[in-house]
Amino acid sequence: MKVFASPSRYIQGKNALFTNAKTLKQLGDSPILLCDDVVYGIVGERFESYLIDNGMTPVHVAFNGEASDNEISRVVAIAKENGNDVIIGLGGGKTIDSAKAIADLLAVPVIIAPTIASTDAPTSALSVIYTDEGAFEKYIFYSKNPDLVLVDTQVICQAPKRLLASGIADGLATWVEARAVMQKNGDTMAGGNQTLAGVAIAKACEQTLFADGLKAMASCDRQVVTPALENVIEANTLLSGLGFESAGLAAAHAIHNGFTALTGAIHHLTHGEKVAYGTLTQLFLENRSREEIDRYIDFYQAIGMPTTLKEMHLDTATQEDFLKIGRQATMAGETIHQMPFVITPEDVAAALVAVDAYVTSR
């Protein structure tokens, strides 16, 4: 059975947060505005005022930084106490994933408003849940995608360009993983086989990022919105989000989850930075051509992504550390099992080292 999933509505553009009151009010009058203190200072307070000015009664709740069961339960209790009828997640991936979980438990609509284009979390009907300490715990799947995704490119262009680069790296995994799932005729995150639309979107994501990624990085560096930046924000958010959900995840994201088994400086890296190395590792596991691997390495290096174990803070890692990553990446239920061949913890460990050996010998 083929399945395609998407949010009910996606709106992107300059000042999108401050020009869509009518659409927002259609979903509820009394929102929880979930954002961390940094985001609240940058745009949250102004957005809260905009909601009030347009007849809504928002309750601002400060997000504690971790998409964990405890944090989700805390905010659910606040929303129940206040009788809120819609959840707005304003911020990065963990804020967004928490907002989706909170809305699902309350059975109310959810509005996703990313302030960075660093992940493809906004559009999907799933959340990645971590322990309070930040280790990957589980995926939660929902019966529907977000009711509204509101992407303000004027806000996103002011975020650090490292975060845009991380989103590009996360987005570049979309086609690599979709292609592997296609070869297996495997299952996607939407709960079925791929649609032609899902695969086409995944391919368009890769094409857009290679075409416009470097131009978008330059725009972000000067905090200006350009057609290239608009395209890349859409690729990072909409194309990558629809692509990973409806065309599937494979080894790259499973290896990212494997990295969470380790302690230390690797946790200072972003989601996309870890996915970049996971993508190279998948390309090695598949024994892809040197031309394709070099294309990814060159592009990652141009946007500041890690391509060596030293840049991953793993230059002192032991064989047991690599096997630990491999064991976590190959756990039952992990997306690495959507690859068209069996992969063992030892295979993952070998490929992690092989990527570094190849990159450092070029």
Enumerate the active-site residues.
170, 253, 256, 271
Encode 54-63: b = buried (16+ Cβ within 10 Å), e = exposed.
Answer: eebebbbbeb
- The answer to whether residues 11 and 20 touch, using CB atoms and an 8 Å cutoff, is yes
- The answer to whether residues 51 and 24 touch, using CB atoms and an 8 Å cutoff, is yes
Q: List the binding residues for NAD(+).
A: 36, 93-97, 115-118, 124, 126, 130
Burial of 195 (0-12, 13-18, 19+ CB in 10 A): middle
Gyration radius of the chain's alpha carbons: 20
Q: Rounded to whole angstroms, how far apart are CA atoms 287 and 183?
A: 14
Q: Rounded to whole angstroms, how far apart are CA atoms 338 and 214?
A: 31
What would the two tokens of residue 152 be? 């303000």
- Contacts with 2 (C-beta within 8 Å, 6 or more apart), sequence order: 192, 193, 194, 195
Q: Rounded to whole angstroms, how far apart are CA atoms 260 and 266?
A: 8
- The answer to whether residues 210 and 251 touch, using CB atoms and an 8 Å cutoff, is no
DSSP 89-149: EEESHHHHHHHHHHHHHHT--EEEEESS-S-S-TT-SEEEEE-TTS-EEEEEE-SS--SEE
For the beta sheet containing 86-91, the strands, ordered from the edge strand earlier in sequence to the opposite edge, are 10-13, 148-152, 110-114, 86-91, 31-35, 59-62
Q: List the binding residues.
A: 36, 93-97, 115-118, 120, 124, 126, 130, 170, 253, 271
- Contacts with 70 (C-beta within 8 Å, 6 or more apart), sequence order: 132
DSSP state of 42: I
From 29, 37, 31, 103, select the one nearest 65 (Cα to Cα): 37
